[in-house]
Structure 1
Amino acid sequence: MYRHPAAQYTELGVGGKWDRLVVWLFGMEWTTNRIRPDVSQWYSLCLTWTHTKDRPALYINGKPVDLMAGSHPSVSLLGFKLAPNGTLTLGAAHILANGNIQVISITSMLGKVSLFRLWGRERSEQEVTSLDCTEGDLVRWSKDHWDTRSRAPVTDPSLQCEWSIYEVKLMFVIIRPDGHTDVYTAREIAHHWVKQTHTQKQTMS
C-alpha cells in the first residue's frame, strides 16, 4: 500500500478480499474474479499503470488478469500522477496518524512476499510476460529501502533472482542516427548481457 499524507485514500495498493485480488488506485477499487492461490507456491504478480490510461493492468505469472471496477468510476484516471513523498508498506495496509505509519493489524497477508520492485514507468506486456528479473529503478528489494526491525527478512535459496546479493554497474554509450536514447532499453540490454555472460561462465566452470 502506498499513501500520501495529504490524501484521504489509498493512492496505490494491492491486496485480497473474499478470494479476490483487489487493486486500489487513487481511491478507486478494482477486483478480479475468484482466485485461490496456493500459499506454498511462489507467484509473480505485476501491476502496471500509466497516466495515459484510465485503468490499471494486473498480471499473474506473466498472464493478464481481468480487473473489474468495484463501482462506476466517479473520476477519470487520465492525467493522474502518484503524489511524491508518500509511505509504502508491504504485507499489510496502513494509515497515517500525525505523520506516523500505523499498520492495520487485520490486513496482514497470508503467505510471504519477496523481490518487490517499483518502476517509474509502465512496463510493457512483453516485459511482464517475459518474467525478466530486472531491478526496479524507484524501489528495489534491498534492506536499504525497508524498515525491517519488527520482522527480519528470511533468505530463500529457491528464488531465481537474487539482486540483493549481486549488483552489477555498467556504463553504456548508445549512438543512434536520430539522436534519441532509450534508457530502459539500455537497461534491458545490460540485464540480458549479464545473464548470458554469467550463464556461460557457469557452464565453462
Structure 2
Amino acid sequence: MALQRWQCCISIIWMLPKARISFFPAILFILFSLLQVPSATPTSLKGQKAVFRHSNITNEYGTLSPGTKIPSLQAFTLCVDIRLKEMSANGVAVFTYNTDKQTKPSSLKHELSIMVESKHIVIWLFRKSISVEKILPLHTWHSLCLTWNSQRHTARIYVNGTLEGDKKTGKKILGQNGSLVLGRRHRRLADRLQVDLEMAFVGELYLFRLWDHEKSSQSIANLNCEDGNIITWDRQQWAFNGTILEDDTTLACSVDSTDSMNATVTTNTTTSITTDVESTTTPSENITGNNTDNQTLSMMTVPPNSKGTENVIFKNFEKY
C-alpha cells in the first residue's frame, strides 16, 4: 500500500509541469481573445461633417433626435463651424430654432438663429434680428460663436475666436423644448414643422455645440474641441435627413487630426446656470421660459409640396 501511494505521488509530481505547460498557452489564448474584442462604437460625430449640396432639396437637413431637448436658459454659448459653397441673393440660414407655433405661416421670426448675408451675419434672438457687418469668404472654414447672458442683457458674436460685435437684448430667457433645424429655415405650425428653401444653406456644417453658460472671450479663443454640455456633435443627439453626413479626417477635431491630440474635452453634464465671464447672482424675480411641450416630438416626413417646402408631422404634439 505504501508503495502504491508513493508511485501515485510521483505520477502527480511528474504531471504538474506538463499541466502548467498546457495551461499557460490556454491563458495566453484567453487574454489575446479578450484584447481582440472590439470596443463600443463611439457615438461622436467628430470626423464627420454635414454636407448640404443643393439649394433646391427640402429634405436635406439635420434636426435634434427624438428625446433631445434644449432647456430654458438664462445664459448660453453656441458655436458652429461652417464652410459656405454658395451665397444666394437673400443669404443663407445656418440653423433655426423655434419654440412658439406660428399662427401666421408667413411669419419667420426665430427664437434663435444664425444667418449669413453677403456682408452681414444676422442673428435672430428672441424673435428680433441683430446684424453684424462681417464678410465670410466662400470655401473657407469659419467658427461662429454666439454668447448671451440675461443678467448683462448682452449678446456677443465671435468669428474665428474674435469678438465682432455685441448687442443689448433686454432681460429674457431662451425658450425650452423648441425645434432646431440645421441648414434650413423652418416654421413650427400648430400640427407640423415646415421646412422651406428660402435662404437654403449650401456648404458644409460641423461641430454644433451649446453650453448653458456664457463663455468669456478668452475661453472662446481657446475653445478647441470641447464638448457642449447641452448639445454636442454626437450621433445620439442628431438626426439627419438625406445622405449628408460625410467622413473627413482633415476636420479640426477629427480622431486623425493633430489638433485633437491637444484638445481639452469636458464631460460636464450639469444644467446649472453658470458663467466663466464673471460671477453673478440669480435674479430674485421668477423667470420662466415658454410653457412648451415636454413630450418627445416624434417626426414623420412627407414629400415636399409645390412651393418648395417640406412638412414634418408632429405625433403626440400637445398644445403648449
Give the TM-score of the pair, scaled to structure 1. Answer: 0.70
Letter in 2 for 1:63: T
Give me the whole-angstrom Cα distance separating, in 1, the residues matched to 2:266 and 2:145: 25
Deviations 1:84-116 (A, max 9, x none): 110111111111123422112112113211011
Matches within 5 A, 1:1-205: 1-6=96-101, 9-35=109-135, 37-67=136-166, 77-78=170-171, 80-162=172-254
Give me the whole-angstrom Cα distance separating, in 1, the residues matched to 2:237 and 2:116: 24
Deviations 1:156-205 (A, max 9, x none): 11112138xx9x8979xxxxxxxxxxx998xxxxxxxxxxxxxxxxxxxx
Letter in 2 for 1:81: I
The alpha-carbon deviation at position 152 of structure 1 amounts to: 3.1
Give me the whole-angstrom Cα distance separating, in 2, the residues matched to 1:147 and 1:121: 25
Give me the whole-angstrom Cα distance separating, in 2, the residues matched to 1:90 and 1:42: 17
Number of corresponding residues: 164
The alpha-carbon deviation at position 38 of structure 1 amounts to: 2.6
Is this contact kept in 2: 1:39–1:110, CA < 8 A? no
Is this contact kept in 1: 2:161–2:220, CA < 8 A? yes
Is this contact kept in 2: 1:11–1:27, CA < 8 A? yes
| Higher deviation after alignment, 137-146 or 57-66 | 137-146
Which of the pair is proportionally richer in strand?
2
Query: Could you say which structure has the larger radius of gyration?
Result: 2
Give me the whole-angstrom Cα distance separating, in 1, the residues matched to 2:154 and 2:236: 32
Give me the whole-angstrom Cα distance separating, in 1, the residues matched to 2:158 and 2:176: 25
Letter in 1 for 2:143: S
Q: What are structure 2's unaligned runs of at least 5 residues? A: 1-95, 269-273, 277-320
Across the aligned residues of Structure 1 and Structure 2, the Cα RMSD in angstroms comes to 2.9
Give me the whole-angstrom Cα distance separating, in 1, the residues matched to 2:267 and 2:116: 39
Give me the whole-angstrom Cα distance separating, in 2, the residues matched to 1:97 and 1:44: 31
Give me the whole-angstrom Cα distance separating, in 2, the residues matched to 1:157 and 1:90: 22
Report percent identity of matched pairs.
Answer: 28
Give me the whole-angstrom Cα distance separating, in 1, the residues matched to 2:134 and 2:214: 26
Give me the whole-angstrom Cα distance separating, in 2, the residues matched to 1:140 and 1:53: 25
Give me the whole-angstrom Cα distance separating, in 2, the residues matched to 1:117 and 1:108: 21
- Give the SS at the match of 1:143: coil
Is this contact kept in 2: 1:48–1:122, CA < 8 A? yes
Deviations 1:39-84 (A, max 9, x none): 221111111101112231011110010256xxxx8xx522x11111
The alpha-carbon deviation at position 123 of structure 1 amounts to: 1.3
Give the TM-score of the pair, scaled to structure 2. Answer: 0.46
The alpha-carbon deviation at position 34 of structure 1 amounts to: 4.4
